[in-house]
Amino acid sequence: MDYINYVKQSPVQGLTGLWGGVSSNLTGGITYEAGTHTGNRAIVFGSGETAPGTDAKINYYDITSTGNATNFGALTQSRLYPKGLSNGSRGVCGGGKRHPSPGGASNVMDYITISSTGNATDFGNLNPAANEPCGGASNGERGVFAGGNDTAWPPTVHAEIQYITIASTGNASDFGNLSQARYYGDAVCDGIYAVYGGGTISPGMYNTNRMDTFNIFTTSDATDFGNLYTPLIRQTGVFNSTRGVWCGGYANAPYNPASRTIMSYITIQTSSNTTDFGDINQGMTTQAAGSSNLTRGCFAGGDDGQLKDDIGYITVATTGDSTDFGNLDTSRNALGGTSGSPS
């Protein structure tokens, strides 16, 4: 079984979901249980701003060990800034910017079987197409993508949240809206609640420190969660069954180059502002690919003005600085990430 559907029953506190999942009865006496939405194999989607024609690359590595990433296969379309999500066995990569040609926002969703290396297969389409979406999240059955833009200048910025059933190919359906139209953010989730943080908003191309949350099992608009420590874009979200950690990112309103090394965290089911977690030791990181197995959170690639191949990791439950993990096969940024089972 790849996931557990939510069930309606009398309120029960403190259940532990299968595969390290969590449960919640915070909404109207309905108990929701998280299904499989992570695993020990990290997946890195896209190749970033490297040599033309290489932007479809997929890498993988084992989150439980340390070492370098290995080639997995290729996406169906070369693109920058996609986002990823998973049900533990199938990984889906959605949106981004077509690169190097013809450009423009991508509506493409691809999928892979995480345990089997090979090229991706078409899943369906986003509507609207979403360049630089603000992250993907999953409850093990349903996947959600949110935000993005159309790559025009000035861009039309999207607030739409879209969802898919991960096990079934097809186009995305309307879920609701973020509280602000935005792009360049990221998401963390506990398999029930998703929290979307940061991003660039319209009008004026200003960054936001706002975090929004919603229950993935429902369809509704997002609600306010709290604030990041500073307005951020291009940060990377990693998580376990209770905690989400924002890693790196870029603060330019006001400009703060130190933001690229700062990590901060939240408790996903408790609305609040972020708290300091530690620092990234792999160099200043933005636009990295995040992957989690509910114990470790890893971030791969990114840039600090130059493209990076570093992979760093943290133990999500324990605050502190990051540790070196290994390297991608090439230096690149503008990546998407997810994780799932290697078998």
Domain count, the chain: 1
Distances (CA, A) of 49 to 46, 55, 230, 275, 311: 9, 7, 27, 32, 18
CA gap 338, 343 in Å, rounded? 16
What range does the domain containing 138 cover?
Answer: 40-340
Give me 297's structure tokens: 């959170």
Task: Say if 279 falls within a structural domain.
Answer: yes
Give me 96's structure tokens: 């981004």
Give the mean model confidence (pLDDT) for residues 304-318: 93
Q: pLDDT tens across 143-200, in order? A: 999 999 998 888 889 999 999 999 999 999 999 999 999 999 999 999 999 999 999 9
pLDDT of 255 higher than 80:
no
Give the mean model confidence (pLDDT) for residues 249-278: 89
Burial label for 320, CB within 10 Å (0-12, 13-18, 19+), is: exposed
Burial label for 305, CB within 10 Å (0-12, 13-18, 19+), is: exposed
| Local confidence band at 29 (pLDDT 50, 70, 90 cut-offs) | low
The values of phi and psi at residue 341, to 5°, are -80, 140
Which of 39-53, 82-96, 143-157, 184-198 shows the lowest mean pLDDT across its residues? Answer: 39-53
Which of 4-13, 197-206, 260-269 shows the lowest mean pLDDT across its residues? Answer: 4-13
Distances (CA, A) of 327 to 165, 222, 266, 299, 331: 33, 36, 28, 10, 8
Give me 290's structure tokens: 């995040």
Which of 10-19, 56-65, 191-200, 277-286 shows the lowest mean pLDDT across its residues? Answer: 10-19
Give the mean model confidence (pLDDT) for residues 122-146: 95
Task: Say if 29 falls within a structural domain.
Answer: no
Q: What CATH number corresponds to the domain at position 287?
A: 2.120.10.80
pLDDT of 1 higher than 70:
no
Task: Say if 304 falls within a structural domain.
Answer: yes
pLDDT on residue 137: 98
Distances (CA, A) of 218 to 144, 153, 162, 176: 11, 34, 12, 10
Task: Say if 13 falls within a structural domain.
Answer: no
Closest Cα partner for 43 from 316, 254, 315, 293? Answer: 293
pLDDT of 50 higher than 90:
no
Percent of the chain at pLDDT > 90 equals 71
Task: Say if 23 falls within a structural domain.
Answer: no
Task: Say if 171 falls within a structural domain.
Answer: yes
Give the mean model confidence (pLDDT) for residues 248-275: 88
The values of phi and psi at residue 261, to 5°, are -110, 0
DSSP 8-state symbol, 175: E
Complete DSSP assignment for 228-255:
-SS--BS-EEEE-SSEEEEE--BEETTE
CA gap 195, 214 in Å, rounded? 7
pLDDT on residue 257: 74
Task: Say if 141 falls within a structural domain.
Answer: yes
Query: Tokens 């130190």, residue?
Result: 258
pLDDT on residue 16: 33
Task: Say if 259 falls within a structural domain.
Answer: yes
Q: What is the pTM of this model?
A: 0.91
